[in-house]
Amino acid sequence: MYHEDCIFCQIAQRKIPSEIIYEDDKLVAFKDIRPLAPVHLLVIPKSHLGSLNDVTPEHESLIGHLLGVIRRLAQEFGVAETGYRVVTNTGADGGQVVGHLHFHLLGGQALEARIG
Ligand code: 5GP
Ligand code: ZN
C-alpha cells in the first residue's frame, strides 16, 4: 500500500531522491539523511506499515527477510565484526518521527551503552 503523504513511501517509489543502497520486491534500504554514526542505514518495507504496532502474523516472513537483509548490510558495510545496533522507534514515547515502519542500522563507532 502506498501513502501519498508518507515520505518513506515516496522514497521507496523513488519519487523523492535518497541514497538507496539495496532494493528488492519487498524492501528498500537507504542512507539516513542525518547520520548519527558512520554507518546509519534505514531499512523499510515498500508497502506502508505505520509502525511495529501494525505488524501482524502475516508479516512474519517480511520481518524475517528484513532482518536477514540488515545482517547482510552489516557485513557489506563492514560493521558485522565490530558490532552494530538495530533500532525501531515506535510511537511518540519511542521517538518515532516518520510514520512508516523503519529499522535503523547503526555502527562504525562505539555506540553509547544506554538504550533508553
Ligand atoms: P525516527 O525518529 O522516526 O525513528 O527516525 C526517522 C529517521 O529518518 C531520522 O533518523 C531521519 O534523519 C531520517 N529521515 C527523515 N527524513 C528523511 C529523508 O527525507 N531522507 C532520508 N534519507 N532520511 C530521512
Ligand atoms: Zn509509507
How many angstroms does the Cα of residue 30 sit away from the middle of ligand 2? 14
> Whole-model pTM?
0.98
> What integer is the mean pLDDT of 94-103?
98
Q: How many CB atoms lie within 10 A of CB 89?
A: 16
Q: What pLDDT does 87 receive? A: 97
Catalytic hit among 40, 100, 102, 104: 102
Tell me which residues have their CB within 5 A of the ion that is ligand 2. Answer: 3, 6, 8-9, 48, 100
Q: How, if at all, do strands 103-107 and 39-45 pair?
A: antiparallel
Q: How far is CA 68 from the centre of its chain?
A: 12
Ligand 1, atom 24: closest residue by C-alpha: 33
Check if 102 is active-site: yes
Report helix, strand or coil for 99. Answer: coil
Ligand 1 atom nearest to 31, measured from its CA: 22
Q: Residue 114: pLDDT above 90?
A: no
Question: Which residues pair with residue 107 across a beta bridge?
Answer: 39, 84
Contact 32 CB / ligand 1 (< 6 Å): yes
Ligand 1, atom 21: closest residue by C-alpha: 33
Identify the structural domains of the chain with CATH numbers, from first to last: 7-107 (3.30.428.10)
Mean pLDDT taken over the chain: 97
> What integer is the mean pLDDT of 46-60?
98
> What integer is the mean pLDDT of 48-72?
98
Cα 55 from Cα 112, distance rounded (Å): 28
Q: Residue 113: pLDDT above 90?
A: no
